[in-house]
């Protein structure tokens, strides 16, 4: 049996093992049947040279760790991309919700988007997905309260998004030091 829930939200700090867990679930899914497919919806944007190199490194590493997983880049229209790629035999990985929220609140063109409706649409797409969905996001609310107004607003918005996505998902896993801690759910996708 594959240890993939109908929907799983994996959250944790930077370099906690979130993406590796999502990739492991995709490998399991792909290995469980020849009809199975996996698609990664990447939300990151290359704002500068360092981010371009980071994205290229992630693409190379992911191709080695999960051969056969397709990648779709969608920095804004996440609910629509999830609806488009969800299918009974397709596992969709979204990596990551934190960058998606950053794209909405702090876009390169300077015109931010109100996040309540995109978040509701995303949760609806998760609940209506016809195949398994794995979402990755950062938990950044464990530290001190940030000093700047904009940063506090971002932390608040991400906390709200994380709570909404956690409520929409059957399974929630917190990653720390590469180790998963199950916060919610035990259902396994058949």
Concerning whether 58 is annotated as a catalytic residue, the answer is yes
pTM: 0.93
Task: List, for residues 126-183, the tens digit of each pLDDT value.
Answer: 999 999 999 999 999 887 777 888 888 899 999 999 999 999 999 999 999 999 999 9
Domains within the chain, CATH numbers bracketed: 7-184 (3.40.50.300)
Q: Give me the catalytic one of 58, 85, 89, 186.
A: 58
Average pLDDT over residues 20-35: 95
Per-residue pLDDT band for 45 (boundaries 50, 70, 90) equals confident
Per-residue pLDDT band for 109 (boundaries 50, 70, 90) equals confident
Nearest to 86 by CA among 24, 6, 165, 27: 6
Per-residue pLDDT at 112 exceeds 80:
no
Q: Residue 181 has which token pair?
A: 């801690």
90 three-state secondary structure: strand
Query: Which residues have C-beta within 8 Å of that of residue 102, sequence separation ≥ 6?
Result: 154
Q: What is the mean pLDDT of the chain?
A: 92
Q: Is cis: bond before 4, omega within 30 of 0?
A: no
pLDDT for 166: 98
Average pLDDT over residues 42-71: 91
Beta sheet of 37-42, edge-to-edge order: 70-73, 37-42, 90-95, 133-138, 7-12, 171-176, 179-184
Alpha carbon distance 43, 178 (integer Å): 22
Stretch among 34-43, 49-58, 180-189 having the lowest mean pLDDT: 180-189
Alpha carbon distance 75, 99 (integer Å): 8
Whole-number Cα distances in Å, 61 to 32, 55, 56, 66, 169 = 22, 10, 9, 8, 27
Whole-number Cα distances in Å, 112 to 49, 84, 102 = 23, 24, 9
Alpha carbon distance 16, 154 (integer Å): 21
Q: Residue 59 has which token pair?
A: 């693409």
95 with 40: CB under 8 angstroms? yes
């Amino acid at each position: 049996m594959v240890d993939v829930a109908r929907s799983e939200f994996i959250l944790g700090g930077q370099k906690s093992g979130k993406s590796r867990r999502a990739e492991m679930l995709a490998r399991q899914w792909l290995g469980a049947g020849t009809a199975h497919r996996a698609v990664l919806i990447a939300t990151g944007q290359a704002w500068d040279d360092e981010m371009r190199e980071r994205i290229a490194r992630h693409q190379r590493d992911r191709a080695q760790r999960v051969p056969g997983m397709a990648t779709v880049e969608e920095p804004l229209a996440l609910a629509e991309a999830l609806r488009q790629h969800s299918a009974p035999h397709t596992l969709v990985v979204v990596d990551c919700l934190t960058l998606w929220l950053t794209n909405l609140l702090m876009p390169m063109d300077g015109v931010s988007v109100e996040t309540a409706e995109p978040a509701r649409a995303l949760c609806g797409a998760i609940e209506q997905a016809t195949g398994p969905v794995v979402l990755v996001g950062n938990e950044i609310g464990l530290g001190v309260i940030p000093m700047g107004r904009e940063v506090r607003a971002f932390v608040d918005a991400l906390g709200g998004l994380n709570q909404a996505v956690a409520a929409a998902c059957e399974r929630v896993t917190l990653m720390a030091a590469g180790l998963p801690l199950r916060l919610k759910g035990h259902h396994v996708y058949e």
